Amino acid sequence: MTRQELARFLDHTLLKPDATVRDIEQLVADALTWNTYAVCVNSAYVPLVSQLRGHHTDLHIASTVGFPLGQALTACKVAETEEAIAAGADEIDLVWNLGFFLSGRHKEVEKDIQAVVNAAKAIPVKVILETGRLSPEQMRTGAQLAVGAGAKTVKTSTGFGFGGATVEAVRILREAVGPDIGVKASGGVSTYNDALLMIAAGATRIGLSKTGQVLAEAPAQQS
C-alpha cells in the first residue's frame, strides 16, 4: 500500500489535554500536506479546525464527544454533539458509558448512543468501546449493541487508560459487525506494518498521532 493510499485510512489525531492552539494549527497543516482522511480533535477545537481547513473539504473533521470517560449525562453528550456539528464537525467519535455496559445496564447504554445518533442526524457516529477492558464476547456484544443503536463505525479505544488497538480486537469487531459497518483501530498504531496489520484484520480507519512516522515508512509508489 502506497503512502497516498494509506493516508486515506488515517485520522490524524491530537486529543491530549495540554494540546495548544499552535499544536492544532500544526496538526491541520500536516493533515493537509499528507492528505489524511480526517483530523480527530476534542470538540473545543472544532471551530478552529474548521477555520483552518477552509475549502479543503477532503479533510474531514472528527470531533470527540464524552471524551475520554464516556460517563457524562446523555443530555451533555447530545449538546456537545450538536455544538460540534454546528461548528463544522463531519463525524462524531462518541465514548460510550463503559461502566454502565460492564454493569449490565445495556438498555441505558443503547439509549445513550441512540440519543447522540439522533442528534447527529446525517453525521456518522463512531462508538468507542475500550476493547482493552473487554473480553472477546463483550466486544462482540458491545459492537452489536452500538450498531443496533445506529453507530456507523465501532472503534477500539480512546488510548487513555485501557491500552490501544490490537489486531485481535479489530478482527473480533469486524466479525461482529459484518462487512457494511466501519471499524476504527485507535491507540498504539505507530508503524507502517502496524497499520497494514490493522487493515488486513478489517479496519477501515486508523486513528493515530504518529502519522508522519507511519507515512514516512510507506512506499511513495507501488514497486
**Residue 155 is a catalytic residue:** yes
Taking only Cα atoms into account, the Rg of the chain, rounded to an integer number of angstroms, comes to 16
Q: Which of 112, 126, 155, 194 is catalytic?
A: 155
Q: Which of 90, 93, 112, 194 is catalytic?
A: 93
**Residue 184 is a catalytic residue:** yes
Name the one residue in this structure whose C-alpha cell is 497516498. Answer: 4
Q: How far is CA 26 from CA 52, 57, 93, 96, 135, in A?
A: 10, 17, 21, 29, 38
DSSP string, 130-154: -GGGS-HHHHHHHHHHHHHTT-SEE
Q: Which of 77, 126, 152, 184 is catalytic?
A: 184
N residues, the chain:
223
**Residue 121 is a catalytic residue:** no
Q: How far is CA 19 from CA 26, 41, 143, 152, 213, in A?
A: 11, 10, 30, 28, 19
**Helix 136-148 with 106-120: angle, nearest 10 deg:** 40
| Residues forming the active site | 93, 155, 184
